[in-house]
């Protein structure tokens, strides 16, 4: 008769559902396929449903206090109502928020502050003095500064720019090899067949080249981290953070996995005005834990 709550972090590659007891210890975990409402709502419902079912089949559904789902591509309130109806668990208390809100609650453990998210996409979001703040997050074609998509796209553009100048750098030669292109025609043909996630997959290569000292790769990462830092600084200005120490957390594969990227980003954050508490990135952290801290 252990009471539990379920947090579900839905993303473009997979859905992670975790059941926690009242001490926030993990009881069960289920990993399913992707769930992004903007990409494929039917698949999203199917995978979230499977994740909940996997847990309630081994734990007693009656002991489930609440479920908090964070999902990408959520844009309107009526989508939430419809999604809850389609999940078809009438006896469960289900709350749905977007994936950035889930990261915000999880990373700040329910406290005030900002979260800078940089994975395939990017956004800066926060709650300070009960006011919500958001900067960026307009998607890969209009923004997503500092994201994996942007870093990879800048690498592709580096090759096109150098082609126009008839000067191909060592970085571009290595990048052509990395993506499996013999020349610029191949590169263009490859790029336009990739989806945004597949484009972003070349980011670890660019970050590694930069970390290893390649000046061209470093300039790409500079551009990306400057873009995201500008958004963090703007978000800071939008809050009343002068009153107290501001918590700043990070979420997303790019910023979590690369300490090189994180250090460059932190250097560009406007720290001189006020005390800022940059929360460390925890390993094996999942945003599903938000269910413990959510009000």
- Interface residues with a copy of itself (CB under 8 A) are 38, 75-76, 135-136, 138-139, 141-143, 153, 156-157, 160, 164-166, 185, 188-189, 191-192, 231, 234, 238
Residue pair 97/74 in contact by the 8 Å Cβ criterion: yes
Half-sphere exposure of 115 (CA within 13 A, CB side): 29
Q: Sign of dihedral through CA atoms 17, 3, 105, 255? A: negative
CA–CA gap between residue 92 and residue 3 (Å, rounded): 13
Q: Are 202 and 155 in contact (CB under 8 A)?
A: yes
Tokens matching residue 215? 């000046």
Instruction: Give dist(CA 79, CA 85) in Å, integer.
Output: 10
Residue 145 beta carbon to a copy of itself: minimum distance, rounded to whole angstroms: 10
Query: Rg for the chain (alpha carbons), in Å?
Result: 21
Q: Which is nearer to a copy of itself, 57 or 75 (CB)?
A: 75
Q: How far is the CB of 227 from a copy of itself (least distance, A)?
A: 12
For a copy of itself, the closer of residues 91 and 130 by Cβ is 130
- Smallest gap from Cβ 212 to a copy of itself, in A, equals 25
Beta carbon nearer to a copy of itself, 7 or 148:
148
Phi-psi region of 66 (alpha: psi -120 to 50; beta: other; left: phi over 0): beta
Shortest Cβ distance from residue 158 to a copy of itself (Å)? Answer: 10
Least distance from C-beta 260 to a copy of itself, angstroms? 25
Q: How far is the CB of 132 from a copy of itself (least distance, A)?
A: 12
Distance in Å, CB of 131 to a copy of itself, minimum? 12
Report the residue number, 23 or 193, with the smaller CB distance to a copy of itself: 193
The Cα–Cα gap between 252 and 122 comes to: 8
Q: CB of 206: closest distance to a copy of itself in angstroms?
A: 15
CA angle 287, 241, 98 (to 5 degrees): 30
Closer residue to a copy of itself, CB minimum distance, 115 or 135: 135
Taken in order 82, 85, 86, 87, the sign of the CA dihedral is: positive
Q: Which is nearer to a copy of itself, 1 or 141 (CB)?
A: 141
Q: Do the beta carbons of residue 92 and residue 52 sit within 8 Å?
A: yes
Minimum CB distance to a copy of itself smaller for 24 or for 38: 38
Hey, which bits of the chain come out as E strands? 4-10, 15-21, 26-32, 64-71, 94-98, 113-118, 122-128, 131-135, 246-251, 276-278
Helix (H, G, I), strand (E, B) or coil at 128: strand
DSSP category for residue 272:
S
Nearer CB in complex with a copy of itself: 7/126: 126
């Amino acid at each position: 008769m252990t009471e539990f709550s379920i947090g579900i972090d839905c993303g473009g590659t997979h859905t992670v559902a975790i059941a926690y007891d009242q001490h926030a210890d993990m009881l069960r975990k289920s990993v399913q396929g992707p769930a992004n409402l903007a990409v494929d709502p039917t698949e999203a419902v199917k995978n979230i449903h499977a994740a909940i079912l996997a847990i309630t089949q081994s734990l007693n559904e009656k002991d489930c206090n609440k479920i908090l789902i964070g999902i990408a591509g959520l844009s309107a309130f009526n989508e939430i109502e419809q999604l809850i109806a389609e999940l078809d668990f009438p006896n469960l208390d289900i709350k749905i928020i977007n994936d950035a809100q889930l990261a915000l609650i999880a990373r700040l453990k329910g406290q005030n502050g900002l979260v800078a998210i940089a994975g395939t996409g990017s956004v800066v979001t926060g709650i300070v003095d009960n006011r919500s703040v958001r900067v960026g997050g307009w998607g890969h074609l209009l923004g997503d500064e500092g994201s994996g998509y942007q870093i990879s796209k800048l690498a592709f553009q580096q090759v096109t720019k150098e082609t126009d100048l008839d000067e191909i750098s060592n970085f571009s030669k290595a990048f052509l090899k990395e993506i499996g292109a013999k020349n610029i025609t191949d590169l263009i043909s490859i790029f336009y067949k990739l989806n945004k996630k597949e484009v972003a997959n070349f980011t670890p290569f660019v970050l590694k080249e930069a970390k290893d000292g390649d000046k061209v790769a470093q300039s790409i990462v500079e551009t990306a981290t400057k873009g995201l830092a500008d958004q963090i600084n703007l978000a800071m200005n939008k809050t009343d953070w002068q009153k107290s120490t501001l918590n700043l957390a990070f979420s997303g594969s790019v910023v979590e996995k690369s300490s090189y990227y994180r250090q460059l980003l932190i250097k560009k954050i406007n720290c001189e005005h006020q005390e800022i508490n940059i929360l460390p990135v925890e390993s094996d952290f999942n945003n599903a834990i938000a269910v413990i801290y959510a009000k």
